[in-house]
Amino acid sequence: MKIILPLPPNLANSKFKHWAAKKQAKDAYVRTVVAVSQNAKMHTLTPWFVVPRYQYPVTVKYHFGLWNKSDEDNLIARGKWALDAIVTNGILIDDSPDYVQIARPTQEIDRKWQRLEVEIT
């Protein structure tokens, strides 16, 4: 399954000075991801129906379309909000290591369409 999402903020160079501002931004991003996934006709189902329990752990691959290249550790941190939103939407049960293995992220320079592609296999 592949989900194309808007690019989450870069938390490595965070401008959030207060925890409440960061939480408000994260909640807004999660709402955006839920709306995008529902518009893509990805209905929220019970997690065991979407990915059966015996098929865990799943592999999550991030592919970023960015303005400039970024460090790999910053890319993984940047994908955290998207993964949390996917769990909130009910596509996955949990994002703990028992359920999810995160593959090495990839990136490309794309100044016209900045995005995050999340592939769950």
Domain positions in the chain = 2-6+19-120
Q: Which helix (H) or strand (E) holds 118?
A: strand 115-120
Other residues' Cβ atoms within 10 Å of the Cβ of residue 113? 8
pTM metric for this prediction: 0.78
Give, in words, the CATH class of 2-6+19-120: alpha beta
- pLDDT tens column, 29-80: 888 887 877 665 554 444 444 555 557 788 999 999 999 998 888 898 889 8
Query: What was the pLDDT predicted at 86?
Result: 86
Among candidate residues 101, 36, 30, 105, the one with its CA nearest the CA of residue 73: 105
- pLDDT tens column, 1-16: 888 888 888 776 666 6
**Cα 87 from Cα 16, distance rounded (Å):** 23
pLDDT, greater one: 27 or 91 = 27
- Identity of the residue numbered 30: V
Q: Are 114 and 5 contacting, i.e. CB atoms less than 8 angstroms apart?
A: no
In the block, residue with structure tokens 């955290």: 80
Among candidate residues 70, 58, 54, 61, the one with its CA nearest the CA of residue 11: 70
User: Mean pLDDT over residues 96-102, rounded?
Assistant: 90
SS3 label, residue 77: helix
**Cα 54 from Cα 18, distance rounded (Å):** 41
